[in-house]
């Protein structure tokens, strides 16, 4: 049985003002074209000025979020760096592929090729933090970040010494990607304003999004924001397996349903996946707040990262922005949050976070 | 390591052939698998020798009992399925159903071999056509998902992408999942098919050789690309003995580090390679003099061989083990390189042979050491296998005689 691990710092670049704004989700950002893009920040604060000139947007977003997390944790060099990404730098892949086709395989720019490799952000973060330790990149669609977190948990259980790993995720929305996934029926035919996405759960499809989120994960309970008590990855989830997983997590932790302060749900306004969350909306007691986040970040492989970042902010702020709330509960404080998130390619993940040490 | 992790089954397809026998016989006969590609459609194909698997996609489908033609399976996936089929041959289906396996796959460009042909259709206004079957092949997990669906593997699945060390990392993750009791057995490895995307990527970096590659040779100029898939079944020694499985080798140590030096080039003195090999030795509880043979990363690029060679000199000092790179046999198979070379390392232990470093003639001026030019019989107890990648991602594995 592995010991739980702790989140000691978190940062997120997302379609919301999540990075350096004052307050908690001020001025909610919405869109009506089916795409939510990251709010840019001043990337030059985090990346060497020579290197930054050739960098693609995904690299800037990923590296800056990782570096900001290290800053918040007050650590220069982590013990290792582990990331998850569904698609890496999509835009670099598109540019190299596009050039290759257009220029008929002649005189190509290697920068796009190098940056399109899924582990390039890890390499940059290792260079910038001078981290010669463990380094790993998981690329498993909707479970990319989850496997990265599991890896960190295993590493921290392999060592008695206090250690801190930089763990994060990043994924990007592009015009091409939107077109491609439209053919796979990912998106809604009639695109609503993103803020009202969840009121359209009677039709198929959702909206696209992107983001990066990084965390320092440690076995040191002191100064931790919360612990990751439990994490379960589900294949081909059904309402029954989601409910059964929640029940077993609660049983294992000796918790009753009403002890849950919040369930943070990945419902995406897509009629095909809404049933996964129906038991949560119906079975949670008046004590529990049911909240949602995908109308703020859109659908992408590592959206769990945005949810985890939100959870860390909820724990520290102890206030719940109105825009998240689906069903308000009466528990006075937020001491634990259950994150339940699905991904359209047939996976879901359920994580229990807690501030009880 | 807490419980001994052993290898009990393996599967491989490479330019040396389909299956363990064909690959082993080619290594013993010192017969390389490099040719001008017949299946890869590229304007550069007539100029570059590559380690292309001889089978066409339809041939591979036939081996797997799949319909031929545009069936939605990429060459990446087909190679993976063929190699996995060999791993699964020796395994009781009931064992899989009752006890569950992890499937840890590794990959660098997913189904790019198909995507690069279909991309214009992907992003066009077209709403119908065979290309729709390939929409999900854009990411690295496509082959993994197909493997677990085809063989019914559960409960744990993951995909790793750390460039050329990807499948060596898959082996490490599998071992650790077993040691933590998360799964009892893990099938680990990687697959990559040749693609124009990858060929042009490496070509644009100017490190592909038109001649057969010459690792650790003073005249080396660059690498030859290859394609392959290789998988190994890992379990604890106890679990293997319980079911009476033959133990092929022991995975006695591993190391994963990062250079933290440059996006594509290794640190010139091979600090990263040095640290990784040392970490693997530490994990295995071995001393440098215990290593009898190194299956080097040895891509034959100017930078890799200088850095790796210097790291070997520094770490092993007066006890330089036999070492060679098998890249001239298979080409650099990227995400598959770590796992197929893990298999070659296990065969080295079983056959008590150090494999030839083909095409070696002239010692490097930066190094005092030279690789095994011709296959050599040797008393091998512990073998180290290196895999280093872009992004500074380094992995070393140590296999020991069963």
Active site residue B164: yes
- How many other β-carbons are positioned within 10 Å of the β-carbon of residue B342? 30
B chain contacts of residue A132, beta-carbon cutoff 8 Å: 257-260, 271-272, 275
Q: Does residue A176 belong to the interface with chain B, where contact is any CB pair within 8 Å?
A: yes
- Neighbour-count burial for B242-275, b at 16+ CB within 10 Å, e otherwise: eeebeebbbbbbbbbbbbbbebbebbeebbbbbb
The pLDDT, as a whole number, for residue B90 is: 79
The pLDDT, as a whole number, for residue A357 is: 56
Task: Return the residue of A nearest to B255 by Cα.
Answer: A134
Active site residue B297: yes
Contacts of A169 (CB under 8 A, 6+ apart): A83, A84, A85, A144, A145, A148, A212, A213, A214, A302, A304, A305
The pLDDT, as a whole number, for residue B372 is: 98
What's the 3-state SS for B226-284? ECEEEEEEEEEHHHHHHCCCCCCEEEEEEEEEECCCCCCCCCCCCHHHHHHHHHHHHHH
- How many other β-carbons are positioned within 10 Å of the β-carbon of residue B110? 30
Cα dihedral sign for A224, A225, A230, A236?
Answer: negative
Active site residue B39: no
Catalytic residue among B164, B188, B191, B213: B164
- How many other β-carbons are positioned within 10 Å of the β-carbon of residue B347? 24
Measured CA distances, B400 to B15, B86, B252 (Å): 26, 22, 6
CB A236 within 8 A of CB A184: no
- How many other β-carbons are positioned within 10 Å of the β-carbon of residue B127? 8
ipTM of the complex: 0.97
Coil, strand, or helix at residue A227?
strand
Angle between helix axes A274-283 and A239-252 (nearest 10 degrees) is: 40
Element (H or E) spanning A213, and its range? strand A211-218
**E strand spans, A156-202:** 164-171
Q: Does residue A81 belong to the interface with chain B, where contact is any CB pair within 8 Å?
A: yes
In terms of C-beta density within 10 A (0-12 exposed, 13-18 middle, 19 or more buried), how is residue A326 classed? middle
Name the CATH superfamily for A226-354: Thiolase/Chalcone synthase (3.40.47.10)
Q: Does residue A171 belong to the interface with chain B, where contact is any CB pair within 8 Å?
A: no
Q: Phi, psi at residue B236, to the nearest 5°?
A: -75, 155
A5-218 with A226-354: one CATH topology? yes
The pLDDT, as a whole number, for residue B128 is: 94
Mean pLDDT by 10 residues, chain B (402 residues): 89 98 98 98 96 98 97 98 95 88 97 97 95 95 97 96 98 98 97 98 96 98 98 97 96 97 90 97 98 98 97 97 98 98 98 98 97 98 96 97 94
Of B161, B205, B393, nearest to A135 by CB-CB distance is B393
Angle between helix axes A175-183 and A90-102 (nearest 10 degrees) is: 90
Q: Predicted confidence band at A159 (pLDDT cuts at 50, 70, 90)?
A: confident
Element (H or E) spanning B101, and its range? strand B101-106
Which residue shows structure tokens 């392999």?
Answer: A158
Angle between helix axes B112-122 and A175-183 (nearest 10 degrees) is: 90
Q: Does B159 sit within 8 Å of A139, measured CB to CB? A: yes
CATH architecture of A5-218: 3-Layer(aba) Sandwich (3.40)
CB B393 within 8 A of CB A133: no
pLDDT digits (tens, 9 = 90+) for A90-104: 999 999 999 999 999
Q: Phi, psi at residue A94, to the nearest 5°?
A: -60, -40
pLDDT digits (tens, 9 = 90+) for A178-208: 999 999 999 999 999 999 999 999 999 999 9
Task: Return the residue of B nearest to A3 by Cα.
Answer: B180
- How many other β-carbons are positioned within 10 Å of the β-carbon of residue A284? 20
Q: Does B260 sit within 8 Å of A130, measured CB to CB? A: yes
Q: Does A100 sit within 8 Å of B197, measured CB to CB? A: yes
Q: Does A140 sit within 8 Å of B144, measured CB to CB? A: yes
- Number of Cα atoms under 13 Å in the Cβ half of residue A36: 32
Q: Does residue A130 belong to the interface with chain B, where contact is any CB pair within 8 Å?
A: yes
A chain contacts of residue B256, beta-carbon cutoff 8 Å: 134-136
The pLDDT, as a whole number, for residue B304 is: 96
CA-nearest of A226, A196, A219 to A315 is A226
Element (H or E) spanning B198, and its range? helix B196-204
The pLDDT, as a whole number, for residue B1 is: 46
- Report the percent of chain A where pLDDT is more than 70: 100
Domain B5-242 CATH (choose: 3.40.47.10, 3.40.50.300, 3.30.530.20, 3.50.50.60): 3.40.47.10
A chain contacts of residue B160, beta-carbon cutoff 8 Å: 136-139
Structure tokens at A248: 């077993």
pTM here is: 0.98
Q: What is the mean pLDDT of chain A?
A: 96
The pLDDT, as a whole number, for residue A1 is: 76
- Domain(s) labelled CATH 3.40.47.10 in chain B stretch across 5-242, 252-401
Identify how many contiguous H helices and E strands chain A contains and give both numbers.
Answer: 11, 11
Q: Does A109 sit within 8 Å of B116, measured CB to CB? A: no
The Cα angle at residue A118 between residues A148 and A112, in degrees rounded to 5: 160
Which of B111, B139, B199 should we substitute to test contact with A (largest number of A Cβ atoms within 10 Å)? B139
Which of B107, B112, B130, B162 should we substitute to test contact with A (largest number of A Cβ atoms within 10 Å)? B162
Cα dihedral sign for A331, A337, A339, A340?
Answer: negative
Looking at CA atoms only, how far is residue A332 from chain B in angstroms?
36
The pLDDT, as a whole number, for residue A160 is: 87
Q: Does residue A286 belong to the interface with chain B, where contact is any CB pair within 8 Å?
A: no
Q: Which residues pair with B229 in a beta bridge?
A: B13, B191
CB B95 within 8 A of CB B103: no
Element (H or E) spanning B328, and its range? helix B327-330
d(CA A331, CA B273): 54
d(CA A58, CA A302): 14
The pLDDT, as a whole number, for residue A252 is: 96
For the residues A11-32, what does the mean pLDDT come to?
95
CA-nearest of B61, B66, B71, B227 to B134 is B71
d(CA A207, CA B78): 33
Q: Does B139 sit within 8 Å of A138, measured CB to CB? A: no
What's the 3-state SS for A98-132? HHHHHCCCCCCCHHHHHHHCCCHHHHHHHHHHCCC
Coil, strand, or helix at residue A181?
helix
Task: Return the residue of B nearest to A344 by Cα.
Answer: B136
Structure tokens at A106: 């002649």
Structure tokens at B42: 């590229």
The pLDDT, as a whole number, for residue B264 is: 87
d(CA A33, CA B19): 51
Which residue shows structure tokens 């990251």?
Answer: A38
CA-nearest of B324, B338, B339 to B375 is B324
pLDDT digits (tens, 9 = 90+) for A103-146: 999 999 999 999 999 999 999 999 999 999 999 999 999 999 99
Q: Does residue A147 belong to the interface with chain B, where contact is any CB pair within 8 Å?
A: yes
Task: Return the residue of B nearest to A2 by Cα.
Answer: B180
B chain contacts of residue A139, beta-carbon cutoff 8 Å: 107, 139-141, 159-161
CB A299 within 8 A of CB A17: no
| Fold of domain B252-401 | Peroxisomal Thiolase; Chain A, domain 1 (3.40.47)
So where are chain A's domains?
A: 5-218, 226-354
B chain contacts of residue A151, beta-carbon cutoff 8 Å: 173
Catalytic residue among B191, B213, B332, B382: B332
Q: Does B43 sit within 8 Å of A135, measured CB to CB? A: no
């Amino acid at each position: 049985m592995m010991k739980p691990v702790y989140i000691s710092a978190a940062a997120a670049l997302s379609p919301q003002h999540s990075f350096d704004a004052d307050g908690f989700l001020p001025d909610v950002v919405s869109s009506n074209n089916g795409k939510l893009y990251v709010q840019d920040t001043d990337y030059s604060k985090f990346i060497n000025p020579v290197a930054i000139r050739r960098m693609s947007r995904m690299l800037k977003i990923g590296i800056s979020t990782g570096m900001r997390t290290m800053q918040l944790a007050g650590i220069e060099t982590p013990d290792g760096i582990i990331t998850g990404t569904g698609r890496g730098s999509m835009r670099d892949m598109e540019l190299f592929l596009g050039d290759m086709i257009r220029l008929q395989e002649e005189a190509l720019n290697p920068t796009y090729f190098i940056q399109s490799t899924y582990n390039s952000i890890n390499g940059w973060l290792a260079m910038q933090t001078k981290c010669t330790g463990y380094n790993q990149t998981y690329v498993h669609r909707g479970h990319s970040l989850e496997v990265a977190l599991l890896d960190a948990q295993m590493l921290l259980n392999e060592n008695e010494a206090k250690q801190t790993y930089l763990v994060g995720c990043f994924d990007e929305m592009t015009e091409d990607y939107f077109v491609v996934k439209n053919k796979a029926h990912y998106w809604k035919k009639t695109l609503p304003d993103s803020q009202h996405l969840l009121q359209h759960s009677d039709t198929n499809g959702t909206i696209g999004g992107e983001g990066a989120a990084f965390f320092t994960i440690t076995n040191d309970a002191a100064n931790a924001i919360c612990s990751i008590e439990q994490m379960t990855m589900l294949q081909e989830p059904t309402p029954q397996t989601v409910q059964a997983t929640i029940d077993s997590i609660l049983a294992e932790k000796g918790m009753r349903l009403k002890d849950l302060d919040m369930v943070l749900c990945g419902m995406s306004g897509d009629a095909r996946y809404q049933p996964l969350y129906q038991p949560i909306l119906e079975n949670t007691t008046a004590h529990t707040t049911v909240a949602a986040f995908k109308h703020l970040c859109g659908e992408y492989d590592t959206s769990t990262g945005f949810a985890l970042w939100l959870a860390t902010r909820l724990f520290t702020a102890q206030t719940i922005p109105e825009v998240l709330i689906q069903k308000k509960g009466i528990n006075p404080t937020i001491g634990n949050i259950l994150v339940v998130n699905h991904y359209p390619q047939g996976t879901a993940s359920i994580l229990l976070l807690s501030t009880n040490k | 390591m807490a419980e001994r992790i052993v290898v009990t089954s393996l599967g491989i397809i490479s330019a040396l052939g389909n299956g363990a026998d064909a690959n082993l016989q080619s290594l013993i006969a010192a017969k390389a698998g490099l040719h001008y590609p017949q299946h890869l459609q590229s304007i550069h194909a007539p100029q570059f020798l590559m380690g292309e698997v001889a089978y066409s996609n339809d041939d591979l489908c036939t081996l797997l009992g799949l319909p031929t033609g545009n069936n939605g399976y990429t060459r990446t996936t087909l190679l993976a399925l063929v190699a996995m089929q060999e791993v699964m041959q020796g395994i009781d289906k009931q064992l899989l159903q009752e006890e569950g396996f992890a499937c840890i796959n590794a990959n660098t460009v997913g189904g790019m071999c198909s995507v690069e042909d279909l991309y214009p259709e992907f992003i066009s206004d077209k709403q119908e056509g065979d290309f729709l079957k390939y929409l999900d092949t854009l990411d690295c997990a496509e082959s993994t998902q197909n493997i677990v669906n085809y063989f019914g593997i559960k409960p744990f699945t993951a995909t790793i992408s750390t460039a050329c060390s990807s499948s060596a990392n898959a082996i490490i993750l599998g071992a650790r999942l077993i040691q933590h009791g998360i799964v009892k057995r893990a099938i680990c490895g990687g697959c990559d098919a040749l693609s124009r995307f990858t060929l042009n990527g490496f070509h644009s970096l100017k490190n592909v050789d038109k001649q057969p590659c010459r690792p650790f040779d003073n005249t080396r100029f660059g690498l030859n690309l290859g394609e392959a898939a290789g998988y190994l079944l890992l379990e604890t020694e106890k679990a293997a003995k319980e079911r009476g499985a033959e133990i092929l080798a022991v995975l006695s140590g591993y190391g994963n580090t990062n250079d933290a030096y440059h996006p594509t080039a290794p640190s010139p003195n091979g600090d990263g390679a040095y640290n990784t090999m040392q970490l693997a030795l530490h994990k295995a509880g071995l001393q440098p003099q215990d290593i009898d043979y190194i299956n080097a990363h040895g891509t034959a690029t100017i930078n890799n061989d200088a850095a790796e060679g210097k790291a070997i000199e520094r770490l092993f000092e007066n006890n330089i083990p036999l070492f060679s790179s098998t890249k001239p046999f298979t080409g650099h198979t990227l995400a598959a390189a770590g796992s197929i070379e893990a298999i070659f390392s296990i065969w080295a232990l079983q056959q008590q042979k150090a494999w030839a470093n083909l095409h070696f003639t002239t010692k490097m001026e930066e190094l005092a050491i030279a690789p095994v030019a011709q296959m050599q019989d040797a008393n091998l107890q512990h073998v180290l296998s290196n895999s280093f990648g872009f992004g500074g991602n380094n992995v070393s594995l140590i296999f020991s005689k069963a």
